[in-house]
């Protein structure tokens, strides 16, 4: 790997990737194939809410490497199934070495499943609720760089999302977590300007069918 600028790392394939990507194969695949591409699938959105909560105090790479184990342990992150988890399931999860065995985070994911079902009942889908917080293009920085991202912090929309989620009973959904969720699920495109993948993500965002806010 050759770091060609503070903003990007150029891989052996000649493609420039965001500075945070590094050389780990799992991270590179996540950056190239998932991060920032808009998501409207309720299971994936719920999964990401849960995994962002589990990440608290840890690195995303740690969670990414455990993601398949999390999916097996949490019934594919089907919120209807997770919401029915019992004390027996909590004990099972606390004994599962493939996931992060933190009682508070496990119980949070189960509780958040019930709250996600409430949102689905009210808005028709979790996606319809989440995408209400997509920032207006005019409010976004004109050019994304490492320096800009360092100064940016959680957007006002992320703060608003966090506040509303918490008012509805969600836990482990602070503003920083909410903004990381927005970055990953494509509500914003925070690939840096010189990243080889920024334009393809932007095209995917433009193709997305908007849901009413």
Told to judge if 30 belongs to the known catalytic residues of this protein, a careful annotator would answer yes
Alpha helices in the chain (DSSP H): 25-33, 42-55, 60-73, 79-82, 87-94, 103-123, 126-130, 146-152, 156-167, 175-185, 198-207
Quick count: other Cβ atoms within 10 Å of Cβ 67? 17
What tokens were used for 92?
A: 């099972």
DSSP string, 128-175: HHHGGGPPPGGGS-SS--HHHHHHH-S-HHHHHHHHHHHHTT--S--H
Told to judge if 20 belongs to the known catalytic residues of this protein, a careful annotator would answer no
Q: Give 162's Cβ-side CA count (13 Å radius).
A: 19
Single out the catalytic residue among 52, 131, 134, 179: 52
What is the rounded distance in angstroms from the CA atom of residue 60 to the CA atom of residue 66? 10
Single out the catalytic residue among 20, 30, 34, 107: 30
What tokens were used for 116?
A: 């996600």
Taking each helix axis as running N to C, give the angle between helix 156-167 and helix 175-185, from 0 to 180 degrees, rounded to the nearest 10.
Answer: 110
Told to judge if 60 belongs to the known catalytic residues of this protein, a careful annotator would answer yes
Single out the catalytic residue among 60, 107, 164, 202: 60
Which residues are marked as active site?
Answer: 30, 52, 60
């Amino acid at each position: 790997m050759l770091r060609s600028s503070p903003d990007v790392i150029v891989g052996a394939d000649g493609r420039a990737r965001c500075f945070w990507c590094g050389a780990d194969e799992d991270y590179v695949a996540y950056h190239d194939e998932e991060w920032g591409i808009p998501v409207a699938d309720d299971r994936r959105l719920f999964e990401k809410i849960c995994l962002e909560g589990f990440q608290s105090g840890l690195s995303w790479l740690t969670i990414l490497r455990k993601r398949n184990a999390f999916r097996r342990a949490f019934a594919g992150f089907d919120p209807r199934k997770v919401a029915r988890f019992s004390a027996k399931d909590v004990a099972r999860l606390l004994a599962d070495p493939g996931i992060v065995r933190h009682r508070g985070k496990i119980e949070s994911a189960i509780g958040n499943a019930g709250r996600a079902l409430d949102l689905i009942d009210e808005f028709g889908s979790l996606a319809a609720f989440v995408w209400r917080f997509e920032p207006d293009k005019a409010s976004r920085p004109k050019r994304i760089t490492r320096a800009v991202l360092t100064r940016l912090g959680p957007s006002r929309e992320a703060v608003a999302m966090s506040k509303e989620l918490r008012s509805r009973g969600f836990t482990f959904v602070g503003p920083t977590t909410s903004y990381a969720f927005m970055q990953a699920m494509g509500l914003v495109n925070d690939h840096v300007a010189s990243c080889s993948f920024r334009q393809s993500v932007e095209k995917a965002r433009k193709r997305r069918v908007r849901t009413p806010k």
